[in-house]
Amino acid sequence: DAVIHWFKMDLRTTDNRALWEASEKAAQAGVPLICIYMVSPKDFEAHLTAPVRVDFMLRTLEVLKRDLAALHIPLYVETVEKRREVPERVLDFMQEWGASHLFANIEYEVDELRREAKMIRMCAGRGLTMEVFHDTCIVPPGALATGAGKQYAVYSPWYRSWVAHVHANPDLLSTFEQPTANLPEARDKVAALFDGEIPDVPHNKRLSEEDTKRFRAIWPAGEREAIDRLEKFCEEKVAQYTKRRNFPSDPATSNISVHLAAGTLSARMAVRTARDRNKTKKLDAGVEGIQTWISEVAWRDFYKHVLVNWPYICMNKPFKPEYSNIEWSYNAAHFDAWCTGRTGFPIVDAAMRQVRSMGWMHNRCRMIVASFLAKDLLVDWRMGEKFFMEHLIDGDFASNNGGWGFSASTGVDPQPYFRIFNPLLQSEKFDVDGDYIRKYVPELRDVKGKAVHDPYGRGAGPQARKAGYPEPIVVHKDSRERTLAAYKAGLDRD
């Protein structure tokens, strides 16, 4: 007999609810705890998982395997080619090992929820038990409702309710301990499972050698790294977060999104660690930087709640159906210029090159490039959403979809459609000295002063041209007019 924990996007031993529950169950029953992870190449395809993220997950699995081995718990990793076959394979594995209980944390995307529901039924059919737990959000989806009993579609009242809920249920921020080590007799039973290797991935999800080196140096894997990063941020930066978080050349944010996305860190631990640096236990009081940072982590919960309440957003539909009829431009040259960072708008190009070079982009820049794609180029925001998933190491469906919906004005609690970022003003305001632009756009490295924000408009054209930097592909004023008209026509058509 054995108890199984099935790892998915919860690749950590500390503060992992289902893993802890599985461990308790195994200890009570006096049977071994076995951990499994199913690599599904077709899942990577279907979810557009970025190669940099696949590499991060595989590296994380190696660390996790070592961390678990220290507790004498095996992590068995297997590749299952077709995603449809994953449930069957998990259940067969249970039967091979005589396990009657399967534990997992819930994933909220539509396909995953359906899969989980199906597996619970399949288990019941075979006399097995599957238990699933809310873990990834601090407040479980469905727990909050307006006075009228409706789901929130606006962040601010949702956030007030989220804070009140956590204050009323302080256990939501407690830790789940690491699993208990397997006992010697249990170890012998599962010894064979310790030997397996972490499998390789399909060719199209592999990084080049050069990218591998660079990304691995920027993003070390594993939960120890995640906790260290979080603690360092809380010690050195969180207090200044409100003032500094919007300037992309300033490394003032936590860079933990990669860990929250892979589950190497729990959101509970993130919020608890920040809160514990405050003089108060309240999430909305005390040091301003801490309050702001916690409210940012809460956005992640918010977008996951939205996903659960309105699952159609998983099906390529805008949250606001009235925005379904906009006639987007499918100008391939424009989209390509955006993807490759050659739009002639230095702040946009710097950001697009940052994501290619780091697998990560600063939040302010995510908003700038998203607005630019949807509202300057009038390209369908879903093409940008897809590109982000294909390149981000922290790609997360709910946050990405939410971010794109916000910027394109088609999502939940969005910017009004007539609010259109002016890329030049954004650049001058948030990259004041042009350091970020110069870092990622080497063609403009020698352009002095304010001309770096708009070389062709500010007398540095010949220099930029000589260095091979493109001229702007659109005129912001004109594209703004075009977009306003297209959005309005789309809404009128509704």
Applying CB under 6 A, the span of 97-105, 185-193, 323-331, 360-368 interacting with ligand FAD comes to 360-368
Distance CA(246)–CA(227), nearest Å, equals 24
From the CB of 301, what's the least distance to ligand FAD, in Å? 8
> Does 83 interact with ligand FAD (rule: CB under 6 A)?
no
- The piece of 162-170, 291-299, 336-344, 455-463 that touches ligand FAD (CB under 6 A) is 291-299
Shorter beta-carbon distance to ligand FAD: residue 2 or 370: 370
Q: Could you give the string, one character per residue 374-393, with x where binding to ligand FAD holds by CB under 6 A and - elsewhere?
A: --------------x---x-
Q: Is 328 a catalytic residue?
A: yes
Binder of ligand FAD out of 367, 373, 379, 473 (CB under 6 A) = 367
Residue number of the CB closest to ligand FAD reads: 403
Is the Cβ–Cβ distance between 346 and 453 less than 8 Å? yes
Check if 296 is active-site.
yes
Task: Determine the interface stretch with ligand FAD among 92-100, 209-217, 249-257, 324-332 (rule: CB under 6 A).
Answer: 249-257
Is the Cα dihedral 143, 145, 150, 155 positive or negative? negative
- Determine if 271 is a binding residue for ligand FAD (CB under 6 A): no
436 belongs to the binding site for ligand FAD (CB under 6 A): no
Tell me whether strands 2-6 and 33-39 are parallel, antiparallel or unpaired: parallel
72 lies in the site for ligand FAD, by CB under 6 A: no
3-class DSSP assignment, residue 220: coil
d(C-alpha 302, C-alpha 112), whole Å? 19
Q: What stretches of 342-474 show up as alpha helix (H) in DSSP?
A: 346-358, 363-371, 381-391, 397-408, 423-430, 435-440, 461-466
Angle (nearest 5°) at CA 427 between 426 and 432:
115
CB of 33 to ligand FAD, least distance (A): 29
Catalytic: which of 225, 363, 422, 428? 363
Please select the residue that binds ligand FAD; options are 254, 264, 291, 354, rule is CB under 6 A: 254
Closer to ligand FAD by CB, 182 or 400: give it.
400
Indicate if 363 belongs to the active site: yes
Q: Tell me if 257 contacts ligand FAD by CB under 6 A.
A: yes
Binding status of residue 394 toward ligand FAD by CB under 6 A: yes
Asked whether position 38 contacts ligand FAD by CB under 6 A, the answer is no
Among 119, 198, 260, 274, which residue sits at the site for ligand FAD (rule: CB under 6 A)? 260
C-alpha–C-alpha distance, residues 73 and 180, integer Å: 9
407 binds ligand FAD (CB under 6 A): yes
Active-site choice (225, 246, 328, 390): 328
Residues in Cβ contact with 427 at an 8 Å cutoff, skipping those fewer than 6 apart: 345, 346, 347, 368, 434, 437, 453, 454
Query: What distance in Å separates the CA atoms of residue 436 and residue 439, rounded to the nearest whole number?
Result: 5
Among the listed ranges 8-16, 25-33, 251-259, 430-438, the one in contact with ligand FAD (CB under 6 A) is: 251-259
Distance of closest approach, residue 409 Cβ to ligand FAD, in angstroms = 12
Does position 255 interact with ligand FAD (CB under 6 A)? The reply is yes
Out of 6, 360, 381, 401, pick the active-site residue.
Answer: 381
Q: Which of 256, 269, 271, 412 binds ligand FAD (CB under 6 A)?
A: 256
Question: Dihedral of the CA atoms 45, 48, 52, 55 (nearest 10)?
Answer: -30
Q: Is residue 295 part of the contact set for ligand FAD (CB under 6 A)?
A: no
Give the shortest CB-257-to-ligand FAD separation in angstroms.
Answer: 3
Residue 164 token pair: 């009140």
CA dist 268 → 9, 32, 227, 246, 331 (Å): 15, 28, 12, 24, 43
The reply on whether position 261 binds ligand FAD by CB under 6 A is yes
DSSP state of 391: H
Q: For residue 16, which of 102, 128, 103, 118 has the smallest C-alpha distance?
A: 103
Alpha carbon distances (Å) from 91 to 79, 86, 285, 332:
15, 9, 48, 45
Interaction of residue 240 with ligand FAD, rule CB under 6 A: no
Q: Catalytic annotation on 116? A: no
Q: Is the dihedral of CA 318, 322, 324, 326 positive or negative?
A: negative
List phi, psi (to 5°) of 288: -60, -45
Number of residues that bind ligand FAD (CB under 6 A): 28
Is 399 a binder of ligand FAD (CB under 6 A)? yes
- Residue 480's nearest CA partner among 374, 383, 405 is 374
According to the binding rule CB under 6 A, does residue 370 interact with ligand FAD? yes
Q: Which of 7, 299, 338, 469 binds ligand FAD (CB under 6 A)?
A: 299
Verify binding: residue 300, ligand FAD, rule CB under 6 A.
Answer: yes
Strands 99-105 and 2-6: parallel
The Cα-based distances of 281 to 66, 167, 177 in angstroms read 35, 9, 21
Residues that bind ligand FAD (CB under 6 A): 245, 253-257, 260-261, 296-297, 299-300, 303, 363, 366-367, 370, 388, 392, 394-396, 399-400, 402-404, 407
Catalytic residues: 296, 299, 328, 363, 381, 404
